[in-house]
Amino acid sequence: MATLQVQDISLAFGDRDILDGVSFTLDHTSRCALAGANGSGKSTLMKILAHQMGADTFIATASRDLRISYLPQSDIVFGSALLFEEAEKAYGRFTPFIEEQHRLEDDLQRENSEAKILRLAEIHELLVEERYHDRRQIIEAVLFGLGFSADDLNRRCKTFSSGWQMRIALAKILIEKPQIMLLDEPTNYLDIEARFWLKNYLKVYDGGVMLVSHDQLFLDETVSEVYELFEGTLSRYSGNYTAYLAQRQAQIAALEARSRSQAQLFEKNEEFIERFRYKASKSRQVQSRIKMLEKIEQVKIPAHLRTLSFSFSPAPPSGRDVVVIEALTKRYGPRSVYEDFSLWINRGDRIAVTGRNGVGKSTLLRIIAGEDTDYSGVVRLGSKVTVGYYQEETGSTLTAANSVLDEAAEAASSADQGRVRSLLGSFLFEGDDVFKAVGVLSGGERSRLALLKILLKPVNLLILDEPTNHLDINAKRMLLKALSSWDGTIIFVSHDAAFIESLATKILYLNEGDAPLVYTGGYSEFIARLEEKETVSPTLLRAETPQKESVLTYREAKERKNRIAILKREEEERLVLHQDLAKRIEAVVAEMALPENYSDGQRIVTLLGQKEDLETKMHETEQSWLSLVDEREGLEAGGSDA
């Protein structure tokens, strides 16, 4: 059984313990999520396990030849290899076996060795069990499942965007089929169809998995235990992510009660200290209370589990028809994105626009928002409709010199000014983060700030393109609660199944080459179709019925190898004969071209006869060679299937 047992991982940066005596066990049956606040050390722990980063202490034992593969969050760039070639590198671990197989076959042509025959049979057994000879089928199944097209197979990897580069990296790990996979945010760059395919893949995968993800529904359907990192320590909770949250809820309630009690204690004693700090008769008591407070370990609530809140101002009134689309046609060059597409969106609708990347989801949102006018047909907003439009690039419209706090305050109404800091906290800007200059924020931080600014404006139509991309599960839950209770109209693109399920009243599904479909039955009707479409066969990476007792007997293997060696020799003889006949035909043709011959009718007839005889023999030789090749390849394939 493949096992990784970690006894102690410790790592400190300055006086902060990132990991403090972390211990746990992973094996080929593990299905676990790694939870914790941003910056708690989740990615660091995975990098250490994958030997991509050192630690102050790393004590662990692993099974012999344990293979662990790690997918980082970002920053993977592939070179000029074709996509299929790059994916095929995932089979690199079989190269030594293929080389050994060829050496054994060469050796067995010269001498019979029962030990070598047995070893060759073992290699054949391994290759068929791991479906090495079916690698093209497997590579294509994984790549297509993750959203690549047949045309992409011959594209250079370096021509793909960063999000697709990450999909290539994920595909290679899935194809490698390690005993343990460490996947850090594998769903970040996946559309909803690819997420469903990956979920179904992991269900049939027979190795261990440790996942970091902000997609709660994805975690619920793929993990059976959760490890939480908090203040450098690791705690284990059985069950899926929802079960983990339920267990933690009772603990958090107790922590919050202790925190309130502790706050009262601090407030009471700090008041006493300030009151009597300079009174000599109370100096001993003051010092005693100062020491007492210093010794108390303050209760801390995990940031990723704190209750966050956000609410909208009521939506201004609008007409019943919020958006009307009639006969919309949109093309990029020869490619048609929308063809004679019509849709009516009514007040209060929450429409999720979904489908694979590149089918026109963001294009539709830009058209409705008035950002893209290069189309034919009618797209108009209803009476008194005001729009708040969020796209990730919106972060580039922020003022770099402003602080985060100032930028948010500029967008807030007078009624919201007093709660701007708490709202920033809900969007993961905490403590001194609110005083950072906008210009130094990461791309994800800028996107979160831009989203908050849009949500602070009083509008009645929200158009949101991937609003949850840079939010953790807790912040997503907060946003979902606020959107669900809001009385406006929402059109949104999201690949988060839980977010769609909880918010959407209708689903617009876009599929390249097909007319857009509207699912008025909501999520359940849509999801049934996706589950059927993105199913993964349990036999994708292993032979359907691997034969455990398939090692050939010495006699059978010896006879097979001897026959293969004979066939190879006869193939070579036929090739030599074929080449000789080709040369003889060339000589006859050259002789026919001589002046003294082409003017001699009788001589030409003789030469033509010779040429026809040679061509007949050449054809017979070709057929004989092909028959020998077919027999040899059949025997070799039979040996592999054994």
Q: What is the pLDDT of residues 505-536, one digit of tens each?
A: 999 998 877 888 888 876 777 887 777 778 88
The CA distance from 511 to 613, in Å, is 60
CA angle at 321 for the pair 372 and 324, rounded to the nearest 5°: 35
Q: Which amino acid is at 632?
A: R
Identify the pLDDT of residue 534: 81
In whole angstroms, give the CA distance from residue 218 to residue 591: 77
**Tell me, what's the pLDDT at 568?**
84
- For residue 592, what are the CA distances in angstroms to 109, 435, 606? 44, 94, 10
For residue 99, the model assigns a pLDDT of: 93
pLDDT above 90: residue 618: no
- For residues 105-117, average pLDDT: 83
Comparing 289 with 45, which gets the higher pLDDT? Answer: 45
Q: Above 60 in pLDDT, residue 212? A: yes
Res 569: pLDDT: 83
Confidence check: pLDDT of 53 > 70: yes
Percentage of the chain beyond pLDDT 70 is 92
Does 304 score more than 70 pLDDT?
Answer: no
251 pLDDT exceeds 80?
A: no
Q: Does the pLDDT of residue 551 top 50, yes or no?
A: no
Using the predicted structure, report yes or no on whether residue 555 has a pLDDT greater than 70. no
Tokens of 387: 């729009």
Give the residue with greater pLDDT, 605 vs 149: 149
Residue 486 clears pLDDT 60, i.e. is over it:
yes
Query: Which pLDDT tens digit goes with each residue over 228-248?
Result: 998 889 999 999 999 998 888
d(CA 471, CA 488): 22
Taking residues 15-31, report their average pLDDT. Answer: 91
Q: What's the pLDDT band for 299 if we cut at 50, 70, 90?
A: low
The pLDDT, as a whole number, for residue 10 is 94
Q: What percent of the chain has pLDDT over 90?
A: 36
- Residue 583 reports pLDDT greater than 50: yes
Spatial neighbors of 98 by CB under 8 A, at least 6 apart, are none
Q: Is the pLDDT of residue 558 over 70?
A: no
* Beta-carbon contacts of residue 315 (< 8 Å; ≥ 6 apart): 458, 459, 460, 486, 487, 488, 489
Quick one: pLDDT at residue 246?
87
Rounded to whole angstroms, the Cα distance separating 579 from 572 reads 11
Is the pLDDT at 292 greater than 80? The verdict is no
Predicted local confidence at residue 55, as pLDDT:
93
Average pLDDT score over residue span 486-498: 90
CA-nearest of 632, 641, 626 to 560 is: 632
Distance CA 342, CA 325 (A): 5
Q: DSSP of 218-285, one letter per residue?
A: HHHTT-SEEEEEETTEEEEEES-HHHHHHHHHHHHHHHHHHHHHHHHHHHHHHHHHHHHTT-GGGHHH
pLDDT band at 257 (very low <50, low <70, confident <90, very high): confident
Average pLDDT, the chain: 85
Q: What is the set of domains in the chain, with CATH numbers?
A: 3-245 (3.40.50.300), 321-533 (3.40.50.300), 554-641 (1.10.287)
In this prediction, residue 543 carries a pLDDT of: 59
Instruction: Of 26-30, 100-104, 254-258, 417-421, give the lowest mean pLDDT range.
Output: 254-258
- The predicted pLDDT at position 548 comes to 41
426 or 191: which carries more pLDDT confidence?
A: 191
Whole-number Å distance between alpha carbons of 229 and 392: 29
pLDDT at 546: 44
Please write the tens of the pLDDT for every residue from 366-423: 999 999 999 999 999 999 999 999 987 766 678 888 898 888 888 877 767 777 888 8
Most confidently modeled range among 69-78, 172-181, 392-401: 172-181
Cβ neighbours of 120 (radius 10 Å): 24
What is the predicted pLDDT for the residue at 549?
42
What pLDDT, on a 0 to 100 scale, did the predictor assign at position 553?
Answer: 55
**Continuous segment of H or E residues that includes residue 46:** helix 42-49
Angle at 388 between CA 387 and CA 390, to 5 degrees: 135
pTM, to two decimals: 0.72
Alpha-carbon gap, residue 456 to 452, rounded angstroms: 6
